[in-house]
Amino acid sequence: MIINRKKIWELSWPIILANFSIPLVGLVDTLIMGHMPSSDYLAAVALGGIIFNFMYAGLNFLRMGTTGIIAQYHGQKNTEEIFLGLLRPIIIAIIIGITLYICKNIIFELSNYFFNPSEKIMEFYKDYLFIRMIGLPFGLINIVFLGWYFGIQKTKFVMVQLFIINFTNIIFSIYFAVYLNFGISGVAIGSFISQICGFIISIYMYFIIANPNDFKKFKLKTFILTSKILRIFNISRDLFIRTMFLVFAQAFLIKKSSDLGVNELASMEILLVLFSLCSYTIDAFAHSAETLVGNSIGSRNKKELKSSIYLTFEMAFLFSFFIAILLFSLRDLIIFSITDIEPLRKIIQDLWILVIITPPISVLAFQYDGIFVGSTLVKEMRNSIVISCLIFYIIIEFLISDIINLKYLYSCFLIFLILRGIILFLYNKRVYSLVDG
């Protein structure tokens, strides 16, 4: 396989379009709630959003682990394990999704204990949480399919799946929340219906490329092979720990913002939505790195590995500066589109310089995440996030606690991103060692 800028762009452009649609859902939810009578609606969506981020991101090992494993089997041309490598995590996703739905009351009580919202916010948040939980099992199956399509380099299938999920989410959310006047419940209904739509399209696309011989060759003994299942759980364990610390960082931002006031909480939600818009688009090159690095390691091709790492980095940095220029040029248009609540507009305007520099600052962390996912070097990913998160927590809780404000909070989040990239850079030689000898 030839690795060049054209190949990387062919893999990346569908992901850029698809990933851009992901935070659009959060943006539309923010737009709908941002035009409600008070900030309580937006605050409730912020709390609900962080809980679902916690669950989906915490369980994103189902996507990342699948991508890394499948990409390496793809490089080895091991068709049997490419098929079984989809089925195993799907079973795990179903079990986890149903279990979490059953435990929705416990999740609600724990989140209330942690965030301690007002009675009004709690009421809105409960409706949002319980309705969205219906779609959780389907959502987890969808992210397994997503990882599998990444691993076999079917990025156009990724684009189709995410477009269907996210644009049906937007359409149904607007329909139920605005036209039927269901408010925050309507936004939640749109979310769970979209996950069902995504499940249907994922199954349909699988059968477009499925090899009938995969089903004929299926052997239960091979499917439940202990070493293969243990590999999934070993990778999943470290990715789960890594992601829990990542989501904790954002949850901690939300918690500290809520301590400052409802406008600060709503403003931080807007900042994180804007961060998502930037990160999901830049992350396309990290996803390309995942599949190219995994494929190169599977085929033990050091030249392809070097090209995959260097060129995806180069293109990601260039794209991040392009996004930063757009943010600089479109400041007022973006802010005025997001909310018409004047105090929120003022807060975001004051912090806009931090929004502009976020894309270039975050590239190193994103790209190395992609490289280490493709390498399945997940312990290193775990270590980097734990160290970065602890430093992030110490700075906020002990060094600036007396002078804390929204600007300092978000600046600490940027420091957290920088530290993640630097620590993974120090582990870089371990990636190349996988193809040596």
Does position 388 have pLDDT exceeding 80, yes or no? yes
- What pLDDT score was predicted for residue 200? 94
Closest CA to 139 of 100, 192, 184, 103: 192
**Above 70 in pLDDT, residue 187?**
yes
Q: Where are the alpha helices (DSSP H) in 3-154?
A: 5-34, 39-58, 61-76, 79-102, 104-115, 119-132, 136-151
Residue 169's pLDDT is what? 85
Alpha-carbon span 312 to 302, nearest angstrom? 15
Q: What is the DSSP string of 150-187?
A: HHTT-HHHHHHHHHHHHHHHHHHHHIIIIIS--THHHH
Rounded average pLDDT over 64-84: 77
- Alpha-carbon span 344 to 338, nearest angstrom: 10
- Indicate the DSSP class of residue 135: G
Please tell me the distance from the alpha carbon of residue 433 to that of residue 375, in angstroms, as a whole number. 10
Burial of 45: CB neighbours in 10 Å, binned 0-12, 13-18, 19+: buried
99 band by pLDDT with thresholds 50, 70 and 90: very high
**Residue 410, phi then psi, degrees to nearest 5:** -70, -35
The pLDDT tens digits for 304-350 are: 888 888 888 888 999 899 989 988 888 888 777 777 778 888 888 88
The model's pTM:
0.75
The token pair that represents 172 in the structure block: 């149904």
- 312, 367 Cβ separation under 8 angstroms: yes
Which two structure tokens, joined as six digits, stand for 380?
């290193």
DSSP state of 175: I
Quick: pLDDT tens for 208-264: 887 666 655 656 555 555 566 666 667 777 877 887 888 788 888 888 887 787 778
Q: What does the pLDDT read at residue 107?
A: 86
